[in-house]
Amino acid sequence: MAGYTSAWTNGVLNFSVAAIELHRADWDEVSHATVLLGRAITRALASLNDPDVVELLGIPRAVARLVVAPPIREPLQFLSRFDWARTVEGGWRLLEINSDTPAGLWEADLVAREIVRIHRFATSPSVAFGETLAETWRAAVTDTLGVGALERAIAIGLVGFLGSPEDHDQLRAHVVAARAALPHARLVVGDISELRATADAAMLRSTRLDVLFRYYPLDWFTDTRLAPILDLVASGRLIMLPGAHAVVSQSKAFLVLLHELHRRGFFPPAESAAVRCYVPPTALERHSLGRVDWVAKPFLEREGRGVCFSTDLMPAARRRLERADVDVVFQERVALASARVPIGSAFGWRTEQRFLVFGVFLAAGRVAGAYTRAGARVTGREAVFLPVLLDGSRS
Q: Which residues contact 329 (CB under 8 A, 6 or more apart)?
A: 252, 253, 255, 256, 282, 283, 284, 296, 297, 299
Instruction: For Cα atoms 257, 262, 265, give the angle at the middle one, nearest 5 degrees.
Output: 130
- For residue 279, the one-letter residue type is V
Question: Considering the domain boundaries, does residue 358 fall inside one?
Answer: no
Question: Considering the domain boundaries, does residue 365 fall inside one?
Answer: no
Residue 55 burial (CB < 10 Å; 0-12/13-18/19+)?
middle
Cα-Cα end-to-end distance for the chain: 21
Q: What is the pLDDT of residues 276-321, one digit of tens each?
A: 999 999 999 888 888 888 888 998 887 778 888 888 888 888 888 8
Question: Considering the domain boundaries, does residue 330 fall inside one?
Answer: no
Domain that holds residue 124: 7-250
Task: Give the pLDDT confidence score for residue 395 in this predicted structure.
Answer: 38
CA distance 69 to 350: 53
Question: Considering the domain boundaries, does residue 380 fall inside one?
Answer: no
Least confident of 130-134, 225-229, 298-302, 321-325: 321-325
Do 336 and 355 meet the contact criterion of CB atoms below 8 Å apart?
A: yes
CATH number for the domain harbouring residue 146: 3.40.50.1760
Question: Considering the domain boundaries, does residue 34 fall inside one?
Answer: yes
Task: Give the pLDDT confidence score for residue 75 in this predicted structure.
Answer: 66
34: confidence class by pLDDT, cuts 50, 70, 90: very high
Among candidates 96, 55, 100, 53, which has minimal Cα distance to 76? 100
127-160 in b/e form (b: 16+ CB < 10 A) is bebbebbbbbbbbbbebbbeeebbeeebbbbbbb
Task: Give the pLDDT confidence score for residue 342 in this predicted structure.
Answer: 83
Is 29's pLDDT higher than 80?
A: yes
Do 360 and 367 meet the contact criterion of CB atoms below 8 Å apart?
A: yes
The number of residues making up the chain comes to 395
Q: How much is the average pLDDT of 340-366?
A: 84
- Percent of the chain exceeding pLDDT 90 equals 58
Question: Considering the domain boundaries, does residue 87 fall inside one?
Answer: yes
Task: Give the pLDDT confidence score for residue 271 in this predicted structure.
Answer: 97
Alpha-carbon distance values, 237 to 66, 213, 227 (Å)? 13, 14, 14
E-only strand ranges, the chain: 20-22, 79-86, 92-98, 155-160, 186-191, 195-197, 202-204, 207-208, 211-215, 239-241, 282-283, 294-298, 308-309, 328-332, 338-345, 348-363, 366-375, 384-386, 388-390
Q: How much is the average pLDDT of 184-194?
A: 96
Q: What is the pLDDT of residues 80-95, one digit of tens each?
A: 999 999 999 989 999 9
Task: Give the pLDDT confidence score for residue 155 in this predicted structure.
Answer: 96
Question: Considering the domain boundaries, does residue 388 fall inside one?
Answer: no
Question: Considering the domain boundaries, does residue 168 fall inside one?
Answer: yes
Number of structural domains found in the chain: 1
Q: Which residues contact 353 (CB under 8 A, 6 or more apart)?
A: 338, 339, 340, 341
347: confidence class by pLDDT, cuts 50, 70, 90: low
CA distance 283 to 280: 10
